[in-house]
Structure 1
Amino acid sequence: MGQPARQPQAGRRRLLGLGGVLLLGGLGGCGFRPMYAGGGEAGSPQRSGPITAELAKVRVGPIPERSGQLLKRSLENHLTPTGADGLGSYELNVSTAFNVEPQGFRRDGTPSRLRYTATATWSLFDNAAPPNRLAGGMVRSLDAFNLPDQQYFAADMSREAMERRLMESLSEQIVERVAVALERRRQPSAA
């Protein structure tokens, strides 16, 4: 009795799998290709390809405060995953801003949970004199942490972990947008 119920599910899975293969095959025919396409092994964390070489040429300008240091380090790790020092053909300038709001309160009115909204405004410039702004934008990330009652060390550790997650999220978003801007610049317009 349990066997007939499984057969339709297996059929649906096969149909969905076939649809996924056809979709991916169709995307290749319309010119779709991964942004970081190249000769790397499947499943390899290392990116390769022309856009990766362009990303390695981006130098990140100074970003003030501790959170800025975390963001700069994360950006550099994403832009040059092999650790190679960029040639400096481009400069990426980033500024950050934070907003904090309490999400939960204890009976005495003190906050028990804080939510941070981190916003980063970025601009990509070339190294011409004077520099030309090639792209720019704003990215945002949200995260929160609990404030345990009278556990100051735990609250501080939670805040630091949250700050690292926020900076990593902002970094990933910025690198994606910079990669798209560099790819558009690299491709001749079809006009």
Structure 2
Amino acid sequence: MSNEVIIDILKKSDALLEGHFLLSSGKHSNRYVQCAKVLRYPEYAKKVLSFVVEKVKDLDIDLVVGPAMGGVIVSYEIGRQLGKEAIFTERVDNVMALRRGFKIKKDAKILITEDVVTTGKSTLEVKELLESMGGDVIGVACIVDRTSSDIGIPIYSAIELDIKVYDKEDCPLCKENMPIEKPGSRKI
């Protein structure tokens, strides 16, 4: 039931994109999920993330942390629904950092939040930062899980989507000279 609801919301908000996309990992894809289009509607954010909250509500969580940009609203909404503090990381000179006076308490049980997890690169970058500050990352919560391999920590998602990802050298869309778009927020 939840998959149909999630797909319906993704379609209603024009978040499922078709084309040729450059992902923040440097890889290419023929589809892209632009969760910002879902998150612009508070009622959609509440509904979609309620499916994730249902999966994590019994975990021992002290803090919810989302990387800017995609994880900020997700962090806030999951934190709101769980009644937990929600903060975010952001890039400084293209390196993930914790700013704005946010602190990590030693051994704090942390749930990382993302809009979409594809390769896990951003998630693992945030995990490394939080653990270097004494935190204990217990998992990642996201709207869409697009991973095709294990990233080493549990993923709790509203939906899993199997979207093809290609290395630039093997991308059939490049071979067709299809124009490429870069919808993500990370500098490559």
Q: TM-score, normalised by structure 2?
A: 0.24
Larger radius of gyration: 1
Larger relative strand fraction: 2
Greater RCO (CA < 8 Å, at least 6 residues apart): 2
Larger relative helix fraction: 1
Q: TM-score, normalised by structure 1?
A: 0.24
